[in-house]
Homo-oligomer: A and B are copies of this chain.
Amino acid sequence: MNNILEKIVRGTTDIISTEELKKKLASGKKLRIKLGVDPTAPDLHLGHSIIINKLKIFQDLGHQVVFLIGDFTAKIGDPSGRSEIRPVMTDEQIKVNIKTYTGQVFKILEKEKTEVVYNSKWFNKIGIEGLLNLASRSTVAQMLVRDDFAKRYKEDKPISIIEFLYPLLQAYDSVALNADVELGGNDQKFNLLLGRQIQKDYGIKDTQIVITMPILEGTDGIKKMSKSYNNYIALNDSPTDMFGKIMSISDTLMYRYYELLTQKNLSIIKTMHPKDAKTKLASEIVERYHDKNKAIKAKEEFNEIFSEKNIPIDMEEYQMQEIEMRLSDLLVKSGMVSSKNKARRLIEQGGIKIDSQKLLEDSIVNCKKRFTLQIGRRKFKRIVPT
């Protein structure tokens, strides 16, 4: 029991409440574990995987994982465009997104053991009376406590009234699903707790346990992992990219990734040489989202490029805003060469490589992805899109 609890608690931000969770776990009942997702975000990354890993733990313990797809709200959106809610989606778009989404999620969870439910199932039937009834269950003051609402209200930024209804709809999902546990990011704490309250309002005595997970930092170790910050490791990244990105993170961040992304014993990991620990982490992650052979191959490839070809793992980075640039301009702009003439000469002499490939012409370079720019045998810079 303590072992089970430890697995569940590891890496979480909040559990409300641990006592209730213990009771539910001890009851022997097959618990219903909810994760609500928008039918958007087709490109999942390791940041998302933290929550899905936690679901996997429940699944391995024999509990019922329920994926709640918020297709209903996605079809509504905010017609006035005043709120920051995502735009309205068509049924077709939603279907495509969900397929992309589950395709990635089932790299972690077992498909046949996972229940996928759409909230249009009950919201198409709840009716306007049902919605108004739901609206009566919360107060304006309660909503204005939520951090983002409080901030916007204070700053005189408009909050559309529909935005006060969405958290209630999300909370009602927990009623319809009879959820025992709901997981979410730390930023979802308010909404998840509202689910508990609304369950009680609708006569559910044994209300859901709320488990929130921290937001994972991206490969830069500073900002949260996000596609828009270009500091993410996607579940769909190639083995080479995945391996390389993990090898590029700092040692501190590596231990955090260990804690949040694996079930490894941290005290043992900390006895290893950091470079070995990092290689082990990279191999484990690639193996998880691809397979053992690909992990081995990625490791070999990485060693070949970075170790055998004497490319250092840690190198200076240059943040690139442009999406493409002529090679000679890039060499000057990144500060590796002092003039365009010098740059052109170096290119002609075969002294410039991109990701270990020699470039003999002053061509246009695609700068939308990270790559290593190299002069001769010893001068390196990593070009990173911003």
Instruction: Give the B-binding residues of A (Cβ under 8 A).
Output: 75-76, 78-80, 82-83, 123-124, 126-133, 135-141, 143-144, 149, 153, 156, 158-162, 164-165, 168, 201
**Is B78 a contact partner of A136 (Cβ separation < 8 A)?**
yes
Contact across chains for B76 and A133 when beta carbons are under 8 A apart: yes
Residues of B within 8 A of A83 (CB): 136
Is B153's CB under 8 angstroms from A140's CB? yes
6 A-B residue pairs with CB within 8 Å: A76-B129, A131-B131, A135-B160, A136-B160, A139-B159, A140-B153
What is the CB-to-nearest-CB distance from A67 to chain B, in angstroms, rounded to a whole number?
23
Point out the residues of chain B lying under 8 angstroms from A127, CB to CB. 128
In the assembled complex, the Cα of A164 lies from the Cα of B141 at a distance in Å of 12
Let me know if A141 and B153 touch, CB within 8 A. Answer: yes
Q: For residue A163, give the distance in angstroms from its CB to the closest CB of chain B.
A: 8
Contacts of A138 in B (CB 8 A): 160-161
- In the complex formed, the residue of B with least CB distance to A83 is B136
A264 and B35 CA atoms in complex are apart in Å by 70
Query: Chain B residues near A128 (CB, 8 Å)?
Result: 123-124, 126-128, 130-131
- Asked if B132 and A165 sit within 8 Å, CB to CB, the answer is yes
A126-B127 Cα distance, complex, nearest whole Å: 9
Query: Within the complex, what minimum Cβ distance (angstroms) separates A382 from chain B?
Result: 45
Residue in B140, B156, B168, B201 whose CB lies within 8 Å of A159: B140
CA distance A79 to B79 in the complex (A): 28
New A-B pairs, 12, CB < 8 Å, besides A131-B132, A140-B153, A140-B159: A75-B129, A80-B137, A128-B131, A132-B165, A136-B162, A138-B160, A139-B161, A140-B158, A140-B164, A161-B161, A161-B165, A164-B164
Contact A161 B141 (CB under 8 A): no
Q: How far is the CB of A83 from chain B (nearest CB, A)?
A: 7
User: CA separation between A11 and B122, bound complex, in Å?
Assistant: 51
Residue from A126, A140, A141, A162 whose CB has the most chain B CB atoms within 10 Å: A140
Known: A128-B123, A128-B128. A139 touches B160 (CB 8 A): yes
Q: How many Å from the CB of A20 to the closest CB on chain B? A: 24
* 6 closest Cβ pairs, A-B complex: A136-B162, A135-B162, A80-B136, A139-B158, A140-B159, A135-B161
Distance in angstroms from A153 CB to nearest chain B CB is 7
Are the C-beta atoms of A162 and B76 separated by less than 8 Å?
no
Nearest Cβ in chain B — how far from A141, in angstroms?
Answer: 6
Contacts of A80 on B, CB cut-off 8 Å? 136-137, 201
Q: Nearest-CB distance from A172 to chain B (Å)?
A: 12
**B123, B133, B141, B158: the one within 8 Å of A141 (CB):** B158
Closest chain B residue, CB of each to CB of A159: B140
Contacts of A132 in B (CB 8 A): 76, 131, 162, 165
A169 nearest in chain B by CB position: B132
Bound Cα distance A137, B158 (Å): 11
Q: Which residues of chain B come closer than 8 Å to A165, judged between CB atoms?
A: 132, 135, 161
Q: For A166, give the chain B residue with the smallest CB separation.
A: B132
Distance to closest chain B CB from A283 (angstroms): 48
Min distance, Cβ A44 to any Cβ of chain B, angstroms = 28
A156 adjacent to B141 (CB under 8 Å) = yes
Q: Which residues of B contact A201 (CB under 8 A)?
A: 80
